[in-house]
Structures are given as structure tokens and as C-alpha cells.
Chain A
Amino acid sequence: MAPVSTERDLRLDLFRGLALWLIFLDHIPSNAVNWITIRNYGFSDATEIFVFISGYTAAFVYGRAMQQHGFIVASARVLKRAWQIYVAHVFLLAIYLAEIAYVSSSFDNPLYTEEMGVLNFLKNPDVTILQALLLKFKPVNMDVLPLYILLLLWFPPMLWLLLRAPSLALITSASVYAFMWLFEWNLPAYPSGTWLFNPFAWQLLFVFGAWCALGGAENLSRWVHSPAMVGLAITYLLFAFAIAMTWYFPRLAVYVPKWVGDAIYPIDKTNLDVLRIMHFLALAIITVAFVPRDWPALKSWIFWPAIVCGQHSLETFCLGVFLSFAGHFVFTEVSNRVLTQIVVSFAGIAIMVAVAALISWYRQAERRGGGPRPPAAKPGYAGGEL
């Protein structure tokens, strides 16, 4: 099966860009602005969108590479990408260590003696840093990139299978997901516990994204556009919304029948709960139904900021993590008034857009300038980048 379309689907960039903004907002603790993010109104959050679209674009880009240049070359490119992400992760880790070292030397409120124990790992950096390099020690909010690395490592054989027997590939992926639930597979973390984003679970969404990119979406399209499906999706989103409201207004919790609560809780993010997948799928169905691929607005300036961020997702994601650290730092050191929170949030997004635009411009200039770069290097970028 061939990648069906040659022109890049701007909706992917748009929603990945938006997801990156939401991830940034969600990563700033105690941020008033993260009221607007989708995780407050249902079961799934921006992570699902990010992983799905990343799978979709990975298949789009590397699928073509695999068809044109074979398994080895395409795999090498995937691994190179995984390495880049690893380097980015280590870079973020260095910034995180700097922040934590600062806090530990400047903050000593007796109310929080227990909480300050989290800084104890600074006392034996030999172990901690090694565990971090092994991706076992992952500070708060630094779980997505290690997941992404593993998903890419697992991707070449999956892509190979997807190009030959897409249904079989999807079944394989779903089986891994099922076995994960059955045998409680997960990877160990340091100092205890397991990965916050269980790779055995989240691979399903990544592979499903890839499957959609390689023709699956075309096959599903009649289904997805049927009024019954759209109606079902809307119903489910409303149900999730109603449940989410009971988290903020405990008085409403009385109206949730006990058997419903027993059936749905806890909604497991680590293992990508089925309720979360369904919520994401419902969102995707609504999106596909109401935002057509050739929607003219996608090319207008209104959506350009999100699209440009989505087109440079790794850089934007890393910058977002750094900016969320910085934003939290502003809250603790300068002011945590709501106005500050709003300013910090929007300034962060503006910086993300500016940097993404800069990268975009630089890439174009580099390509126009010709230089020593042979055109053969292009296919990796032709569909935009991962």
C-alpha cells in the first residue's frame, strides 16, 4: 500500500501545533490558563493527539523513504531521529537539574520538609544521572520524549509490516496492547514504579496513526462520515464532559450512579485506558467531519501560528518544556497573580511561534541556497518533518 497523498495534510500540523500549545500550558503547574485545555473537559488530553499525529507523520515520511530506498535506509533515518530526540531529552534534563539545584539551595520552608526530600537525589548524582541517561529516571513532565524514542525504535519493523499487510500490523499492535493489560507489562522506572507513559500501551495510538496515514483513513472515511458515527461521537464527548464536571464540582458526583463510577474509574493514563482512546477517537471523528482537508482557512493567517509550530514539533515541544519550567520559575520568584499567569502563558506561546517561524525560515533559506546538500536528502523533509 502506498502513501495515498503527496500533499501534506495541513490539519495534521494545525492540530499537532495546538496540542503542543496545550501540553505547554498543562506543564506549568498552577496555571490559571490551563483551564482552557481539553483535559479538563473529557478523558483524553493533548498527549493522545500528539502521539497519534506523530505516528501519522512518521508513516508519511518514512513510509515513502522505505518504498524508495528500502528497509535499511529508512530504518537508519528513523534511528537518527530517535537519537536526535534522545539528545534533546538530555538537554532538557540539564536545564531541569539546574532548576532543581537552585531550588534546593534557596528554599527551606519547614512546612515542606517532606517535599524537599525530592531533592535528595542531588546528593548522589552518580546514580541519578546514569538512571536518567538510561531513561529510567524521568523528572516530572519529561516522560513524553522517552516514550517517543521507544516508539521510533519499534517503528521500523512495524512500518515494514504496515507497508505489506496493514491489517496484520494493526492487529499485532492491538495484541501488544491487550497483552500489556493481561500481563501488566511496563518498563521499570527509577527510583521505583514504572513508566508514566507505558510504551506497550501508547504504541497502539502511534501505530494506528501510521496505519491511517498509509491508507487506513481512506478506508475508514465512509464510516467516519456517517451521521450515526458522528452522533455516537458527540454523545460520548458529552458523557465524558458530564463526568469531567463532577471532578470540579464534587456535589455533582452524587448524580453519577455508583455502577458507572465503578466501571470507569480509575481512568488510567499510564496504560492508555480504553475510555481515553475512545475519547480521542470521538474527537478525531468530529474533527474530520467538520474540518475538511481542503478547508481554505487552513491556509489563512489565523491558523498559521499553530501550523508552523506543528511543522517543527520536536523543537517546539522541547522549547515548550523549557518554557514551562521558566514559567513556573516566574510564578515562584516574581508573582503568581492570575494576570501574570495569563501573560506568561501567552508569551510562552508567542515564543514558541516565533522560534518555529525562525526554524521554518532557516530551513527554506538553506534549501534555496542550494549549498552542498544533494536533493536526495529532501524526501525526509518533503512531507514536512516529524
Chain B
Amino acid sequence: MRKRLLPLALLMLVAAPAWAEHPAECRVAENLTEPNFRLPHVTRAVGAKHLNILVVGAGSSQLPGTSGTGNAYPARLQQALASRLPGVDVKVTTDVKSGRTAAEMVKALPAALAASKPVLLVWQTGTVDAMLGVDPDLFSQSLDKGIKIARSAGADVVLINAQYSPRTESMIALGTYVDDMRWVALQQEVPLFDRFSIMKLWGELGTFDLYSATKKLDIAERVHDCIGRLLADMVVTAAKPEEPPTNGSR
């Protein structure tokens, strides 16, 4: 599988400028990025030509290095949304610090919401809780609480679960936390961006070599770019005004 990647990488070097437009490797099974709930606040904000998004996350929402912030998925999301929604002023602010559990992020949430007044909270969490073995019940409660806080501040929520990380799979038991996020998302009726399944599919298809022991940033940057784009697709689809709810009428 890894060998197949070399020609692909070469191809991408050649096709770099075109690839910036719509990278084929991002495309994954449609049902993974299809939102099953609507984002009414975002719909209204897009109509008002002013979209303000807050990304709250931990270490997997950032990249190291001087150009890390510009290449990490929050910045890529802003760029993808700006090109998908011409004429709309898109602004993405971040509250990202590595090593934070869901409960710690909830604590910082009111202040961050008050500072940026977003219509959408993109909330990435789960990895650190899994690493520390936080009680899954408490984890779910934190998620519920965070969603409630965001809603009362007038923001929709999109949850992002953990990254798929094949090398550390035998060391971090993500399963429970990934499942819990699915259930909370379903119960609270918020779209879940299933980063775990998407990256797992990339790994299986050989889109990205996630086993790679590289110390370089190239794969990481492309992964974040793709996540930003797919996330933008999901937000745009979930905020489309004309379509009837796909799933919200359960």
C-alpha cells in the first residue's frame, strides 16, 4: 500500500497548483461527510453575508512550526468556506491548546464564545480524554454541557472526533470515546464530522500513509487541508436553506 503512494506523491508535486483547487484524494465515501442535522444559525449568517466561526480544540487541531497556524485545518476551513461562499465575510477564530480534555475546554468555553460571538462552534475533542482514560460518562456529560453552553450563546455546533492514528492504536483506546461522541451528537442533534472514520478510510485506501514515520510536515499539512475542505463541505450542506431537513425530522 505504501509503495503505491510514491507515484501519487510525484503526481501531486507536478499537479500542485491544480490540486489546490480540488484535491481528488480528499474525496471519501459520501455518507461520512453528509450532515444529518441542520445548522440554522449558520444559514441565517450566510444570508446576512457574515459568517463567524469558533474552532475549539486540542493538539490535533494545530500543526507545529512557524507556518503551522496557516496550514492547520481551522485556517483551511476559513479559506475553503470563503471560496465556497463568495460574497460572505468568513471569519474563523480558534481556541486551540494541546493536551486539553473535553471538561477543560468546556470551562474555557463561555469566555471564548463571549470574545468571538460565533454562529458556529466547531468542537474537536476526545483524544486527550481517551489518553487519560477519563470516565466515559463524564466525557459525555462534558459534551452535553458544552453543546448547551454554545446553544444558549446563539451558536450551532459541529463536533469533530479523534484522529485515526494507526501507530498508537494499541496504546490509546479511542473506541469508547469515538462511540460516545456519535451518540451524543445523535441525541443532541448536532452534525458530527467523523474525522476518525474519514482518516481511517484514507489509511485503508492508501490516500495518505498514516503509518509513515516521517518527521516532515508534508503529509500532515495535506491531511489538514483535506479536513478543512471536507468540513467546509459539511457546513455548507448543513446550512443550505432550500433543502428540507435530511434527517432532522426523526
Contact = CB atoms under 8 A, between A and B. Distances in A.
Interface stretch (A5-13, A76-84, A186-194, A279-287): A186-194
A331 B170 CA distance: 11
A254 interface: yes
B66 interface: no
Nearest to A120: B131
A191 B186 CA distance: 30
A265 interface: yes
B236 interface: no
A116 B168 contact: yes
Could you tell me the dominant secondary structure of chain B's interface residues? loop
Interface in B64-100: 64-65, 98-99
Interface string B171-182: 111001001100
Contacts of A261: 186-187
Q: From DSSP, what is the main secondary structure of chain A's interface residues?
A: helix
Contacts of B166: 29-30, 331-332, 336
Nearest to A340: B1
Interface in B195-218: 200, 203, 210-217
A258 interface: yes
B211 A191 contact: no
A88 to B, nearest CB: 19
A189 B133 contact: yes
A111 interface: yes
A266 B168 contact: no
Interface string B120-140: 000000011001111110001
A366 interface: no
A112 B165 contact: yes
A324 B169 CA distance: 12
A113 B97 CA distance: 12
Nearest to A195: B133
Contact of A115 (B168, B173, B220): B168
Contacts of A189: 133
Interface in A90-118: 99-100, 103, 106-118
Interface residues of B, number: 52
Contacts, number: 130
Contacts of B152: none
A262 interface: yes
Contacts of B64: 110, 113
A196 B214 CA distance: 33
A7 B110 CA distance: 67
A30 B31 contact: no
Contacts of B223: 111
Given A109-B213, A109-B219, A115-B127, A335 B1 contact: yes
Interface stretch (B13-21, B39-47, B55-63): B55-63
A140 B180 CA distance: 18
A115 B187 contact: no
Nearest to A29: B169
A266 B179 contact: yes
Given A109-B220, A191-B133, A118 B213 contact: no
A313 B247 CA distance: 47
Contact of B213 (A108, A141, A269): A108
Contacts of B63: 110-111
B167 interface: yes
Contact of A114 (B1, B127, B176, B210): B127
B36 interface: yes
Contacts of A251: 31
Interface of B: 1-2, 31, 36, 58-60, 63-65, 98-99, 127-128, 131-136, 140, 163, 165-173, 176, 179-180, 183, 186-187, 200, 203, 210-217, 219-220, 223, 247, 250
25 contacts: A29-B166, A30-B200, A103-B167, A113-B60, A113-B64, A113-B98, A114-B98, A114-B128, A116-B168, A118-B171, A192-B132, A192-B133, A250-B36, A253-B186, A254-B247, A254-B250, A261-B187, A266-B140, A266-B179, A266-B183, A270-B136, A328-B170, A331-B211, A332-B166, A336-B211
